[in-house]
Amino acid sequence: MTSSASEEEKKLLVRIADGDRHAFAVLFKQYSHFVYSSGKRLTHSDYWAEELVQDIFFKIWRHREKLTEVANFGAYLNRVVRNQSYNILRQLAQDAKSVNSMEHKEMEHTTDNVLDLKEASVILEQALEILTPQQRAAYELCHIQGLKYKDAADQMNVSYETVHSHMKEAIKKIRTHFRNSGLAYSILFALLFS
């Protein structure tokens, strides 16, 4: 990056730190593809790459006053993407370990409690019923129809951040409903990520 480009970026970061939404939109447009492609390369997942874009830029905006302390934004963002990706992979590994442990315990105790995917689909439908209309719409557009959050936001006529918030809450409620039903997490993952 040339010194003039570096100076322009510093000015942009100062404007964002002062709450300039237009400057933030410029930064997002400039770096969101980098975050997405780096996240996808590290997590091997479109879903998690999209989550990284949302979470990282949400946190940048929420803590925007600290941007004036960043000397090299590209290097800073690269480190944040790498750390967040590793956190996701670590959490997924822990979840997989927990799932394997739970499945093993379930198989030891009884095979009668194993539900097939048809029964799990009924429980998922019940879980969808407890979502707010907006959460359900976001879930169906993003997960079932496979739309990106931005496209879902356009269809729902809400902001990208609103769709992100609805999806987080929807997934949290669905997980809780499955946990309360006693359903094995492997079946939940099969339904959520199929």
- The verdict on domain 115-192 having CATH code 3.30.70.330 is no
- pLDDT over 70 (residue 95): no
* Phi and psi angles of residue 87, each rounded to the nearest 5 degrees, phi first: -60, -45
| Residue entry with tokens 């990520």 | 193
Which of 59-73, 83-97, 166-180 is the least confident region? 83-97
pLDDT > 70 fraction of the chain, expressed in percent and rounded: 77
Residue predicted with more confidence, 4 or 35: 35
Instruction: Report d(CA 183, CA 123) in Å as an integer.
Output: 9
Taking residues 72-97, report their average pLDDT. Answer: 83
Start-end of CATH 1.10.1740.10 domains in the chain: 3-87
Instruction: Report d(CA 50, CA 69) in Å as an integer.
Output: 27
Classify residue 107 by its DSSP letter.
Answer: H
| The one-letter amino acid at 96 | A
pTM over 0.85: no
What's the mean per-residue pLDDT of the chain?
79
Give the pLDDT score at 102.
55
DSSP states of 102-157 as a string? HHHHHHHH-STTPPPHHHHHHHHHHHHHTS-HHHHHHHIIIIIS---HHHHHHHHT
Taking residues 3-10, report their average pLDDT. Answer: 76
- pLDDT over 80 (residue 114): no
| Residue entry with tokens 């933030």 | 24
Q: What is the pLDDT of residues 142-152, one digit of tens each?
A: 877 778 888 99
CA dihedral 145, 95, 87, 40 (to 10 degrees): -30
Q: What is the pLDDT of residues 153-173, one digit of tens each?
A: 999 999 999 999 998 898 888
Start-end of CATH 1.10.10.10 domains in the chain: 115-192
Confidence of residue 134 (pLDDT cuts 50, 70, 90): very high
Classify residue 193 by its DSSP letter.
Answer: T
* Phi and psi angles of residue 63, each rounded to the nearest 5 degrees, phi first: -110, 35
- The verdict on domain 3-87 having CATH code 1.10.1740.10 is yes
Taking residues 15-21, report their average pLDDT. Answer: 92
- Of 45, 18, 13, 39, nearest to 28 (Cα)? 13
| The one-letter amino acid at 64 | R
Confidence of residue 118 (pLDDT cuts 50, 70, 90): low
Alpha carbon separation from 125 to 51, 177, 178 (Å, rounded): 24, 10, 11
